[in-house]
Structure 1
Amino acid sequence: MAGAMALVLFFSIFTSMGTAHAQVDLNVHASGAILVDGKTGRVLYDQNADTLHGIASMTKMLTEYMLLDDIKKGKVSWDQTYTVDDLVYKISQDPSLSNVPLRQGGQYTVKELYQAMAIYSADAAAIALAEIMGGSETNFVKMMNAEAQKLGLKHYKFVNSTGLNNADYKGMQPVVGGPTDENVMSARDVATLAFCLINDFPEILKTSSIPTLTFAAGTKDQIVMKNWNWMLPSLIYAYPGMDGLKTGTTDFAGYCFTGTASRNGIRFITVVQNATDASGKGGYKARFAETRKMLNYAFSNYSKVQMVPKHYQIKGDETVPVSNGSSNQVPVYTKSALSMVVQSGEKKDFKPVLVLDKSKVDSSGKLIAPIKKGEKIGYLTFVSKSGQSISYLTPQGQKKAEVDVVAAQDDNKANWFIMIMRGIGGFFSNT
C-alpha cells in the first residue's frame, strides 16, 4: 500500500510531456502538428507542438466556442438579429477575403452568421458575432484572450476574431496589437481548443460537417457556401468519418487545418500548421494530405480496449487499511469497467494505480470509518511501466481515462468494546 501511495503523489499530477509508447516518426510536413484521442485528449503524436505559429481562420473555433457558450447561458439566442454596420459591410464586400455578402443596414440572425462562419469561414460574419457578444470586436478580443486562459491554453495571442492579418482591416477598426499582427497559437493549444469545443459543444459537428449550404436563400444575395474542409466524405479529398473542424490560410500562417474524424466509436483530432508537400510547397492538398497521414496511422494502429472489467481489484491493493473501523481493512474494486483507445499491444505497457480521495483518509493514509458499500474512496488510473509520462491535453480529459474505485462492503466505526480490545492487544504486543 505504501508503494501505491507514493505513486499517487507522483502520478496524480497532470502531465504534458512525452507519451507512454515510443512515438513513431510520421514525418509530417508541417511547422507544427499533433494527433490526439478525441475522448480523453491523450496525445498520440506531436511535432514541434509547443511553438507559436499562425493559425489564420482556425481562430474562429474560439469565436464558435464563446458563441455556443453564450447561447447555452441564454446571453444570445439563435433567432436574435444583427444589423450590419459599416465595418462588417466593407469587410464582407472585400473579394480577397472569405465572405458571404452582407448588406449595409441589413439584418441577419445569429444562426445565419454562425453557419456562414463555421461552414464558409466568413470573416465579416465572425466580426458581426464578435460585436454581438462583446459590443465591439476590440472588446471581444480581450474576452478571447481571457477565455483562452480559462480553457488552460498556454501559448497563444489573439488580436482579432477572424484570423485575418490586422492589415486586412485597412484601418477600419482600432487595432489590437501591431498593424500587421496575426493570431498565433501552438499546435497543442489549437488541439486543446478543438478538444474543448467538440466535447463541451458536440453540436458544432452538425454544422461543421455540412458540405454545402445556401446563405440568404431566396434573396439576390443568395450564395452557395461550399465547406472549406475538403476532407468531408462527399468532397474532393473525402475521408471516411470526417466531420470537422476548421481550415485556415494566410500568407503568414500558411495552410492550416484542424481535422476530426470518428469511426466505430473512436474519434481523433489532428492539427497541422503551415503544411507543405515533400518539396516544401504549401497548398490546399498538402494540409489534407498531412492530416490524412496522421489519421490513417491512428485508425490503423489504435483501437478501443477494455483495460479493466467491472469490480476489478488491483493486485496488492485489493483492500485498504481503515482507521477506527470495525475491520482493519476494507475490500475495494472498480465501480465499472474502463475502456481506452490504445495502440496495438500497448495495454501490457500500462500499470493500474489506486489513487485515494484525500478527503477520505487520515494523515497515515488510512480510510476514515464509517464507510458504506459502494462509497467512492478514490479512482484507478494508469501509469507507464517504463516510467514515461502519459500526456493529456486537459485535466478534464484525463479523468475520462480513470474509473471510480468503491468500497466492496460496509465498514462501520468501531464500538468502544472493539477499541478497548485493540488497545489491550496492542499493549501486550508491545510488551
Structure 2
Amino acid sequence: MKLKKKFCRVLGFMLALAMVLPGVSGAALNFKPVSSIDKDGKPVELTLRSKACCVMDMDSGDIIYSMNGGKEMPVGTLNMIMTSLLIVEKYNDIGTLKNTTVSAGSEAYDELFDKGAPTADIQPNEKVSYYDILCAMILQSSCEAANIAALDMGGGKLAGFTKLMNDRAQQMGLKHTKFSSAHGLWTSGNYSTCEDMAVLCKYVMENSSILKEIFNMSTYTMSKTDKHPEGTTLYNNNVLINSASLYYYSSAKGIKTGSTNDAGRCLASCAVIEGKNYLIVSLGAPAEILEEDKEKGKDDPDSVYAQDYIYYNLIDHINIYNWCRTFLVESDFLNPDSEVRDVQVLYGDKNYANLKAKTGFSRVWPSYIKTEDVKREITVKENIVAPVEVGDVLGEMKLSYNGETIATLDLISTTKVERSESASKWEIAKSYFKSKVFYVTLVLIGCLIVLYTVVHVVRTNRKYLKKNAEVHSDDNRLDEDE
C-alpha cells in the first residue's frame, strides 16, 4: 500500500511538471543575409565587413543569422552596456538617478592617461549625476564616467566593480563573457560574443525604459557644474539615429557603438521594421578604408565612401536591416486548430484519439525559401491506455529545414476516451493470446498431448501383446491335451 501511494505521488508530480513545461521549443536557424535576387531567381549573398555578427528577432529571441556569433572577441566599449545596467538596477528610477551625484579623483583617470580613451570631459572631483554618467557612457563612450561609477559602486576599487559585472553576466547565462574593466578599453581578460551581447541588449531593452530612452538620444546636454557652468553637450556616436547623418536609418532605435584599436568598430543596434523588432550585434569591422572602396567616393562625392572615415559597422547594420525589410516575413507553419493524425488507445470506449499541435508555430522566414520545404516528422507514444483527457500530450512534431531543427511541438489529444471494463477485458484476452506465455502454454499442452498419446499407444500395445501371449498360451495347452 505504501509503495502504491509513493508511486501515485511521483506520478502526480510528473504530471504537474508536464503541465508547466512549454509545448514548443525552437532552435536557431541560420539564414545568410542577401542583397538581391539575380536574374535566375537565386539570392545574392550580402557581403559584410565585420568579423562577427548576429541578428536576433527580439520578439521571439530567435537568432536569425550568426556569423562567428559564438566566437569570443574583444567588444570595446560595448562593455558600458553592462555597466549601465548595473547602475539602473541600483538606482532604478529617473528621479534618483538625476538627484544622486558622484565624483572621483585621479584614481579614475590614471589608467586612461595617454591611451586615447573616449571622454565626456568630466573633470577630477567634478560632481555629476548618475543620469549624466549614463548619458556620457552611452552617447560618447566616456571611459572616465565608467570608472567614476565603478569606483563608487565597487567599494573604491575598479576590480570590485568588474566582479559585480561578471557576477551579473553569470546570472544572465552569458557563458562566453568576461569583463576586466567597466569601460572595455582593454582587451586583456575582457571579451564576449555577439550572441551573448545580443542577450544582454535584449534584456536591457525589455527591462529598462530609462536606458531605452537614452539609447535613442542623438544629443544630450549634461547638467551645469562648477567645472562646466554651461553644461556639456554630448553627441551620440551611433549616428544611425541622427537624421543629419549620411548613415541615418529612420527605423533604428539605438543602441551603442564600441570601437577600439583592438576590437575594431563594434555596434549594437535595434530597429522596428514592419512591426517586428530586430537587434544586431557586430564586432571587428575595419577602422580604416578598405582598398576596394577608395575609388567609390570619386564617382559619388555625396556618399559615405567620399568621407575621411567609413563606418563599416554602420553600413553592415543598414544592409542587414534592408534585408530584413525586403526579404523577411512572419510565416505560419502550423495551424493550432488542425488535427494532424490519430493514435490507437487501449482499454477505452473508443480505440483512437485525434491529435493536434498544442500551439501554432510561426517565425520570421525569408520570402525566397518556400515554407513547403520545411519537413514535418511526427512521433507518438506507444501503448496509450485509457483514460485519455482532452489536452493530454501524446506525441510531438518536429519541424526541420535542410536537416536543421526549427521547432519541436507537443501534440495533444482532442478526444476524450473513457476507460471501458469490457474493452479492457477483451484487450487483456487478446493480448494474452498474442503473448509468449500463451505460446509457451500452447507448446506445453501440445507436448502433454503427444506424451499422453505415446503413453496411451505404449499401454495399448502392451495390453495387446499380453492378450496375444495369453491366447497363444491357451492354444498350446489345448494342443498338449489332445
TM-score (normalizing by structure 2): 0.66
Specify the alignment match of 2:364 in structure 1. 341
Rate the CA distance shift 1:420–1:300 in 2: closer, same or farther, 3 A: same
Q: Secondary structure at the match of 1:53?
A: coil
Query: What is the deviation of 1:411?
Result: 4.0
Q: Distance in 2 between matches of 1:71 and 1:411?
A: 57
Query: Superposed, which structure 2 residues align to 1:205-354 within 5 Å?
Result: 205-216=212-223, 220=229, 222-232=231-241, 234-236=243-245, 237-276=247-286, 277-279=289-291, 283=309, 285-314=311-340, 318-320=341-343, 327-346=350-369, 347-353=371-377
Query: Superposed, which structure 2 residues align to 1:39-188 within 5 Å?
Result: 39-70=59-90, 78=97, 81-87=100-106, 90=109, 96-102=116-122, 107-131=127-151, 133-135=153-155, 136-165=157-186, 181=188, 183-188=190-195
Greater fraction of residues in helix:
2
- Deviation larger for 27-36 or 41-50: 41-50
Q: Secondary structure at the match of 1:33?
A: strand
Q: Secondary structure at the match of 1:348?
A: helix
Rate the CA distance shift 1:103–1:18 in 2: closer, same or farther, 3 A: closer
Q: Secondary structure at the match of 2:285?
A: coil
Q: Secondary structure at the match of 2:120?
A: coil
Query: What is the deviation of 1:367?
Result: 6.0
Q: Secondary structure at the match of 2:117?
A: coil
Query: Superposed, which structure 2 residues align to 1:27-38 within 5 Å?
Result: 27-38=47-58
Q: Secondary structure at the match of 2:240?
A: coil
Conservation of the 8 A alpha-carbon contact between 2:238 and 2:256? yes
Conservation of the 8 A alpha-carbon contact between 1:92 and 1:101? no
Query: What is the deviation of 1:156?
Result: 3.4
Query: What is the deviation of 1:110?
Result: 3.6
Q: Distance in 1 between matches of 2:212 and 2:130?
A: 17
Specify the alignment match of 2:390 in structure 1. 373
Conservation of the 8 A alpha-carbon contact between 1:82 and 1:108? yes
What residue identity is the alignment partner of 1:123? C
Q: Which runs of 5+ in 1 are unaligned?
A: 1-11, 166-179, 357-363, 391-400
What residue identity is the alignment partner of 2:248? A
CA RMSD of aligned residues (A): 4.0
Conservation of the 8 A alpha-carbon contact between 1:133 and 1:140? yes
Conservation of the 8 A alpha-carbon contact between 1:335 and 1:405? yes
Rate the CA distance shift 1:372–1:220 in 2: closer, same or farther, 3 A: farther
What residue identity is the alignment partner of 1:32? A
Conservation of the 8 A alpha-carbon contact between 1:163 and 1:182? no
Per-residue CA distance 1:116-139 (angstroms, 9 max, x = gap): 323333323333443455434312
Q: Distance in 1 between matches of 2:322 and 2:205?
A: 21
What residue identity is the alignment partner of 1:279? E
Q: Distance in 1 between matches of 2:260 and 2:183?
A: 11
Conservation of the 8 A alpha-carbon contact between 2:223 and 2:232? yes
Query: What is the deviation of 1:105?
Result: 5.1
Per-residue CA distance 1:179-220 (angstroms, 9 max, x = gap): x73622233333343344334557643321121222115871
Conservation of the 8 A alpha-carbon contact between 2:257 and 2:267? yes
Q: Distance in 1 between matches of 2:368 and 2:134?
A: 43
Q: Secondary structure at the match of 2:60?
A: coil
TM-score (normalizing by structure 1): 0.72
Rate the CA distance shift 1:404–1:428 in 2: closer, same or farther, 3 A: closer
Conservation of the 8 A alpha-carbon contact between 2:25 and 2:408? no
Q: Secondary structure at the match of 1:54?
A: coil
Q: Distance in 1 between matches of 2:374 and 2:433?
A: 44
Per-residue CA distance 1:21-60 (angstroms, 9 max, x = gap): 9996322112223333333343443333343332111112
Rate the CA distance shift 1:421–1:80 in 2: closer, same or farther, 3 A: farther
Conservation of the 8 A alpha-carbon contact between 2:342 and 2:355? yes
* Match status 1:420 vs 2:437: no
Per-residue CA distance 1:375-400 (angstroms, 9 max, x = gap): 6667765321x21355xxxxxxxxxx
Rate the CA distance shift 1:78–1:47 in 2: closer, same or farther, 3 A: same
Per-residue CA distance 1:252-308 (angstroms, 9 max, x = gap): 212111222111122222233221344289945222112222222222211112222
Percent identity reads 20
Query: What is the deviation of 1:344?
Result: 0.7
Q: Distance in 1 between matches of 2:379 and 2:275?
A: 28
What residue identity is the alignment partner of 1:143? L
Specify the alignment match of 1:25 in structure 2. 45
Q: Distance in 2 between matches of 1:383 and 1:365?
A: 23
Kindly name which structure, 1 or 2, has the bigger radius of gyration based on alpha carbons: 2
Size of the alignment, in residue pairs? 382
Query: What is the deviation of 1:239?
Result: 0.7
Q: Which runs of 5+ in 2 are unaligned?
A: 1-23, 35-42, 294-307, 439-482
- Deviation larger for 200-209 or 55-64: 200-209
What residue identity is the alignment partner of 1:307? F
Q: Secondary structure at the match of 1:258?
A: strand
Q: Secondary structure at the match of 2:375?
A: strand
Q: Distance in 1 between matches of 2:85 and 2:382?
A: 42
Rate the CA distance shift 1:350–1:257 in 2: closer, same or farther, 3 A: same
